Amino acid sequence: MDYEYMSIPEFAKCLGVSRIAVYKRVKSGHIEAKRIGRNFAIPKKCLAQSVGGELDEAGRRELDRGVKRVFAEYGGVVRLMGER
């Protein structure tokens, strides 16, 4: 059977991330999900959006902050890797 929804563990496995990471994104509203009892059902359409969807303004700001933090903490290492 092919269902229209996925569980958090199934979604996490498809993305290659932890189920906790997906759960946090669901709780913060970044991933659409329906609550069914104690579990969440995530529409399969959200998988395509999570993998290759266009970033909204908040997503761009979050990505920029992450990149700046990585370069602030590991800039020397990143530069050395680029020289290889």
Residue 9: partners with Cβ closer than 8 Å, 6 or more residues away: 19
Same domain for 45 and 4?
Answer: yes
Same domain for 47 and 67?
Answer: no
pLDDT, tens digit only, all 84 positions of the chain? 457 899 999 998 988 889 999 999 999 988 999 999 999 999 988 886 776 656 677 777 887 888 888 888 888 887 787 776
Partnered with residue 43 across adjacent β-strands are 5
Q: Which domain does 16 fall in, by range?
A: 1-53
Count how many domains the chain has: 2
- The pTM (predicted TM-score) of the whole model is 0.56
Same domain for 40 and 62?
Answer: no
70 and 64 Cβ atoms separated by less than 8 Å: no
Same domain for 37 and 67?
Answer: no
